[in-house]
Amino acid sequence: MIYLDWAATAPVDPESLAVAADSYSTHTRNPSAIYQSGQAVSMHLLNNRIELAKALHCQADQIVFCSTATEANNIVITSFLNHTPAEIITSPLEHDSVYQPLQKLKQLGWKVIEAPIDLEGRIDVEKIPDIINKNTVAFFAMDVCNETGTVQPIQEIGMLLEKINRERDRRIHFHSDMVQALGKKEIDLQKMKVDSASFSAHKIGAIRGAAMLYLKKAISPLYGGGGQEKGIRSGTENVGAIDSFIFSSLKTIRQLQENQTHFLSLKRELIEGIVSLKKKAEIHLLPTEDPTRLLHSDFFSPHLLQIAIPPLPSEVLVRLFDSKGVEISGGSACASNSKKKMKRVSEAMQYDKRIAESTLRISFGNSTTSDEIKKLLQIIEESILDLAKKF
Ligand code: PLP
């Protein structure tokens, strides 16, 4: 099988799995226990936390470990329920783990406003001051979009909000979902001026069951418990999964340049192949047909490409590719209601209906090869395009 759905989940890196296995057998005690072996686990966690903080340019006590990025996003969003309803700004492309809890807030009387985006899915920073008012308390904008690969101008938004916040009594909290950004672009939490950010282990080759919430300043969570992770995420720490997450984070940050070059070369090969297929049949590069834009890492992540092969529906395309030995996504595979989500994102991107219904997401990882891209292009040329013509 050729696996080209790394944005959904990355196969576990054997090295990271070994780190987890070693950790589970070495650090067997609860880190909250006060006897020496428990405290040794707590110390081990602290030392690792310090290493991760250095790599992400933050402080160790600004890191909260949790189990999934969905949980991390929810902790931040639900914390606003401690306040009287006000206004929140978000991007229309957010992952369901941000979009859905914001819908809940809406039902509870909050106003949720979508920031205007351009045809590449990027938030128009200049228009942000027009949608902020005295009731605005938070801004949620993902860094790299898991559907389109669009890179948002997080640092520019962060700097703008910092400036606006200087003149306000009530600060606007800036949260960014950086799940698809870690290991694909540079992350400097201090420079990016976010108040909080989320990351997930299973997107970077670590074992599942760990994630991270960066919090510049502590917030008051809606739920409570044993008070672990400074009371922000109560529940016994999954030390083995956290160790695997930290190992994979440090590895992917260390290998960033090498991986970016690799992804970009695969993406270039894929785009060139699709451009040449366009002469024979209908196939689209999304969200723009301009290869130079798509290959510019400031605008689009190098690990992901969205395409469309109308009039074949995404679901049919995914099954066809699967039957030919290629696993790709018709959208956000980790979302159970991915069809609805695809529709929401496609509408925000203003794709026409034919294209919206036939989108595919191809995403690579560090072990993806040029031969796999060639095979994918061959399958598109020899099997898929003919079917699309007859459909
Ligand atoms: N945010 C983005 C951008 C994602 O792509 C995903 C998973 O696909 C998530 C959040 C959710 O991550 P997790 O599976 O750790 O809850």
Q: Provide the CB-side half-sphere exposure for 130 (13 A, CA).
A: 8
Q: What is the pLDDT of residues 264-291, one digit of tens each?
A: 999 999 999 999 999 989 999 999 999 9
Confidence (pLDDT) at 336: 46
- Residue 238 φ/ψ, nearest 5 degrees: -85, 80
**Which residue's CA is the closest to the ligand 1 atom numbered 16?**
70
- How much distance in Å is there from the Cα of 89 to the middle of ligand 1? 20
**Alpha-carbon distance 140 to 212, whole Å?**
17
**Alpha-carbon distance 386 to 279, whole Å?**
13
Give residues (CB < 6 A) around ligand 1.
68-70, 95, 97, 142, 146, 177, 179-180, 200, 211, 332, 334
Kindly state the tokens that stand for 4: 């080209």
In contact, 303 and 292? CB cutoff 8 Å: no
- How much distance in Å is there from the Cα of 33 to the middle of ligand 1? 32
Q: What is the pLDDT of residues 83-122, one digit of tens each?
A: 999 999 999 999 999 999 999 999 999 999 999 999 999 9
**Alpha-carbon distance 222 to 80, whole Å?**
8
**Alpha-carbon distance 95 to 80, whole Å?**
19
In contact, 304 and 362? CB cutoff 8 Å: yes
Percent of the residues in the chain that have a pLDDT greater than 90, as a whole number? 93
Q: What is the pLDDT of residues 19-67, one digit of tens each?
A: 999 999 999 999 999 999 999 999 999 999 999 999 999 999 999 999 9
Confidence (pLDDT) at 337: 56
Using the predicted structure, report yes or no on whether residue 343 has a pLDDT greater than 90: no
Average pLDDT over all residues of the chain: 95
- How much distance in Å is there from the Cα of 43 to the middle of ligand 1? 29
Using the predicted structure, report yes or no on whether residue 10 has a pLDDT greater than 60: yes
Q: What is the pLDDT of residues 222-273, one digit of tens each?
A: 989 999 999 999 999 999 999 999 999 999 999 999 999 999 999 999 999 9
What does pTM read for this prediction? Answer: 0.96
Q: Looking at residue 57, what DSSP letter applies?
A: T
Of 5, 6, 70, best ligand 1 pocket probe by most atoms within 8 Å of the beta carbon: 70
Confidence (pLDDT) at 339: 65
Looking at ligand 1, which atom is closest to the CA of residue 94? Answer: 3
Kindly state the tokens that stand for 133: 């008012």
Q: Provide the CB-side half-sphere exposure for 378 (13 A, CA).
A: 10
Looking at ligand 1, which atom is closest to the CA of residue 142? Answer: 3
Query: Roughly what angle, to the nearest 10 degrees, separates helices 36-56 and 239-254?
Result: 30
**Average pLDDT of 6-28?**
98
Using the predicted structure, report yes or no on whether residue 334 has a pLDDT greater than 50: no
Confidence (pLDDT) at 333: 41
- How much distance in Å is there from the Cα of 70 to the middle of ligand 1? 6
